[in-house]
Amino acid sequence: MIVTDEDFKVIDSAIEDVRKSGTKIRKTFAAYNESEGYDIAWEVSAAVEAFSSFSSRWSIEILSTLYIAGDRRFNEMRKLLTGISSRTLSDKLTHCAELGLVNRIVDEGPPIRVRYQLTEHGRNAGRLLSPLVAYMKIQKGRVVKEK
Amino acid sequence: MIVTDEDFKVIDSAIEDVRKSGTKIRKTFAAYNESEGYDIAWEVSAAVEAFSSFSSRWSIEILSTLYIAGDRRFNEMRKLLTGISSRTLSDKLTHCAELGLVNRIVDEGPPIRVRYQLTEHGRNAGRLLSPLVAYMKIQKGRVVKEK
DNA sequence: GCAAAGTGTAATTTATACACTAGATAGTTT
DNA sequence: AAACTATCTAGTGTATAAATTACACTTTGC
């Protein structure tokens, strides 16, 4: 057995997430259409920026990792995103924070620790990305198991 | 009215696509698990490569555009992917073809025309990406309408 | 002395700008 | 009818700019 039941669970839950998110996104949009005053300026600009930033290296892995694994610290991210340099991770996390996709949370210590968390908008993106990532993770998993 | 019913239809059909693809992917994996001899070497390596290539600029837009719009010619792609240079588009399409995500089909003329088409593997990726793209398209659409 | 969360700097890789090509089609002028 | 001009298609070549990596280094706390 190469693809496990565990793998199927991952993809199933990802698909279920997408189904749920459809309803939620429709509700959000409906609310937006009805209330003219609802301030979504930042949200909109973040989304547009995000669409471009998705196209650059690592952004997808960062968002989907935070979505799947939950809040993570800097060095934890480095381990999960195999191959990223600390310089690039630092830059990308700053960029995602500027776009409003990710919150940088300092847990006052001691010891002081920094935690990265998806915002509402980041979770939307992560949720929609997750089926792709689940599929790719399984493909990756296959190769590792075969070696 | 800023978000139209048309927008909702796009996202609904994207979500429906994902739901369907779940069943299909499970079947593919089940078949793979049962038949030890099934040669998926190229498919697997393409997937792993693809996972990296998704992380690079434009790949997502290329795959999702071909998935949503169907087969397209070189200059059609250029119009759909606003902002891409012809040099980069050429390189990216070649790369995607090497990875087995895209087929380059020459329609013997006259006039001779070149068409790009997703492979089975490219369609899997495109299908899983489509909800994200639908969401982002709507976000983009909002901004355009507000201007 | 090690972990955490980075920064600085140089080298490499990737993408863009922009000019250009070659073959075909289409219209228009001599 | 032949030549002239213009445009479309699918790119390539080259220089520049931007993004990423490698690798050394820092600071604070245990």
% pLDDT > 70, chain B: 56
- Residue A145: predicted pLDDT: 43
Which of B101, B144, B135, B142 is closest to B15 using CA atoms?
B135
Is A48 within 8 Å of B140 (Cβ atoms)? yes
SS3 assignment, position A136: helix
Question: What average pLDDT does the segment A122-135 reach?
Answer: 74
Q: Is the CB of A95 under 7 A from strand C?
A: no
Reported confidence tier of residue A11, pLDDT bands at 50, 70, 90: low
- Averaged pLDDT, A120-147: 64
| Predicted pLDDT at B37 | 46
CB contact, 8 Å: B144 with chain A?
A: no
Distance B75 CA to D13 C1' (A): 19
Question: Chain-wide mean pLDDT for chain B?
Answer: 74
- The residue that leads in pLDDT, B112 or A40, is B112
Nucleotide nearest to B90 (CA to C1'): D11
Domain count within chain B: 1
Question: Which pLDDT belongs to residue A144?
Answer: 43
Radius of gyration of chain A (CA): 17
CB A2, CB A133: distance < 8 Å: no
Is the pLDDT reported for residue B77 higher than 80?
A: yes
Q: Which is more confidently placed, A50 or A82?
A: A82
Straight-line distance from CA B127 to C1' D4, in Å?
Answer: 50
Per-residue pLDDT at A40: 46
CATH number at residue A130: 1.10.10.10
User: Between residues B134 and B43, which one has the greater pLDDT?
Assistant: B134
Query: What is the mean pLDDT of the segment spanning B73-82?
Result: 91
pLDDT in tens, A53-64: 666 788 888 988
Residues B92-125: tens digit of each pLDDT: 999 999 888 899 999 876 678 899 999 988 887 7
From B32, B48, B135, residue closest to A124, measured CB to CB = B135
ipTM: 0.77
Whole-Å CA distances, B81 to A109, B71, B72, B86, B138 = 47, 14, 12, 10, 16
Q: What is the mean pLDDT of residues A88-92?
A: 96
The domain containing residue B115 runs over which residues?
A: 5-146
The answer to whether B11 contacts A22, with C-beta atoms less than 8 Å apart, is: yes
Q: Please check whether residue A60 touches B, CB under 8 A.
A: yes
| Positive/negative CA dihedral, B2, A49, B101, B104 | positive
Greatest Cα pair distance in chain A: 57
In the prediction, which pLDDT does B11 show?
Answer: 65
B61 to chain A, any CB pair closer than 8 A? The answer is yes
Range in A8-17, A41-50, B119-128 with the lowest mean pLDDT: A41-50
pLDDT the model gives residue A75: 96
